[in-house]
Amino acid sequence: MIPRKILVGYDGSSHSQKAFRHALELAKANQSGLLVLSVAVPAEPAVDVEMEDMLEEAEEHFREDFKQLEASAKEKGVDLETQILVGHPAEQIIRHAKEWGADLIVVGHRGKGRIAEWLLGSVSKRVTSYAPCSVTVVR
């Protein structure tokens, strides 16, 4: 099946950058829509003021990254959407894939931080277990 809508989970890590490049090639080859989704994960427990600050910094950080991704997409002639959500990455990716009607989710094999992965669980494993569509895990 040709994926018409591809969603990429992006956290800025080298793995997610590989995932983006893979998705970009697929989108170019199939003239698919491409959505890059980043999820800001609040530190737990969220603390007044500190959380607001962290979310704003995460948004600024991702917006800066998105500029580069948008430039790459433009170069390839691919329409790129970007979005930043808040919460647990896997849940938000799956939920948004469902709402957006994604045909394919592309994620990196490993995200940022082994400790975070140990505490939160592997995002790619969770996504592959619960996704409403096909999933490509990029190594």
Q: Which residues bind another protein (CB under 8 A)?
A: 17-22, 24-25, 41-53, 55-56, 68-69, 71-72, 75-76, 85-88, 91-92, 94-95, 98, 109, 113, 115-116, 119-120, 128-139
For residues 55 and 81, which CB has a smaller minimum distance to another protein in the complex?
A: 55
Please state the closest distance from residue 81 (CB atom) to another protein, in A. Answer: 17
Residues in the chain: 139
**What are all long-range contacts of 53-60, with beta carbons under 8 Å and residues at least 24 apart?**
55/86, 58/84, 59/84
Task: Report the b/e string of 89-118 with b at 16+ CB within 10 A.
Answer: bbebbbebbeeeebbbbbbbbbbeeeeeee
What's the closest the beta carbon of residue 33 comes to another protein, in angstroms?
Answer: 19
Least distance in angstroms from the C-beta of 9 to another protein = 14
Task: Identify which of residues 31 and 71 has a Cβ nearer to another protein in the complex.
Answer: 71
CA–CA separation, 76 and 27 (whole Å): 9
- Please report how close the Cβ of residue 101 comes to another protein at its closest, in angstroms: 14
